[in-house]
Amino acid sequence: MQLGLTSRVALITGGSRGIGKGIAEQLANEGADLVLVARNSDALADIAGNIASRHDVRVRTIVADLSDPETPVRLAREAGPIDILVNNANTPSGGSLEGLSEAEWQRNWSVKPYGYIRMLRAFVPMMRERGSGVIINMIGQINQVATNKALFSAASCSSLTTITQALAHELAQCGVRIVGVGAWVVNTESVVQGYREKAVSKLGDASRWRELLTHLPFGRAAEPAEIGDLVAFLASDRARYISGQIINVDGGYIASSVPTLAAGALAHE
Give the domain range for residue 95.
9-186+223-240
Asked if residue 250 is part of any domain, the answer here is no
- Is residue 217 included in any domain, yes or no? yes
Note whether residue 260 is domain-resident: no
pLDDT digits (tens, 9 = 90+) for 198-221: 999 999 999 999 999 998 889 999
Q: Is there a domain that residue 261 lies in?
A: no
Report the pLDDT value the prediction gives residue 262, as an integer from 0 to 100.
Answer: 47
**CB contact at 8 A, 11 and 75:** yes
Q: How many CB atoms lie within 10 A of CB 201?
A: 8
pLDDT grade for 264, boundaries at 50, 70 and 90: very low
Banded model confidence at residue 1, pLDDT cuts 50, 70, 90 = low
Question: Does one domain contain both 114 and 191?
Answer: no
Do 201 and 94 lie in one domain? The reply is: no
What is the signed CA dihedral for 78, 127, 225, 39, rounded to 10 degrees?
30
Pairing label, strands 9-13, 84-87: parallel
Question: Taking the CA of residue 125 as centre, how many other CA atoms within 13 Å lie in the half-sphere pointing to its CB?
Answer: 9
Tell whether 125 and 40 lie within a shared domain: yes
Q: Are residues 101 and 27 in the same domain?
A: yes
Q: What is the CATH number of the domain that holds 173?
A: 3.40.50.720
Give me the mean pLDDT over the 73-86 stretch.
Answer: 97
Structure confidence at residue 247 (pLDDT): 95
pLDDT one-digit tens code per residue, 216-249: 889 999 999 999 999 999 999 999 999 999 999 9
C-alpha angle with apex 67: 126 to 130, nearest 5 degrees?
5
For the cut 70, the answer to whether the pLDDT of residue 269 exceeds it is: no
| 207 is a domain residue | yes
110 and 211 housed in the same domain: no
Residues 22 and 112 in one domain: yes
Verify that 18 and 121 share a domain, yes or no: yes
Do 44 and 104 lie in one domain? The reply is yes
According to DSSP, the β-strands at 84-87 and 33-38 are unpaired
Is 249 among the domain residues?
A: no
Query: Which of 102-111, 140-149, 178-187, 196-205 is the least confident region?
Result: 140-149
Instruction: Let me know if residue 149 belongs to a domain.
Output: yes
**CA angle (2 as vertex; 235, 185 as ends), nearest 5:** 50
Is residue 265 pLDDT above 50, yes or no?
no
- Residue 48 domain flag: yes
Between strands 246-249 and 9-13, the pairing is unpaired
Residues 207 and 170 in one domain: no
Q: Does 31 share its domain with 134? A: yes
Residues 20 and 116 in one domain: yes
**pLDDT the model gives residue 24:** 98
Asked if 176 contacts 215 with a C-beta cutoff of 8 angstroms, the reply is no
**What's the chain's average pLDDT?**
90
The Cα 73–Cα 87 span in angstroms is 15
Tally of structural domains, the chain: 2
Same domain, 86 and 198: no
Which among 220, 168, 225, 214 has a CA at the least distance from the CA of 25? Answer: 225
Residue 144 has pLDDT above 90, yes or no: no
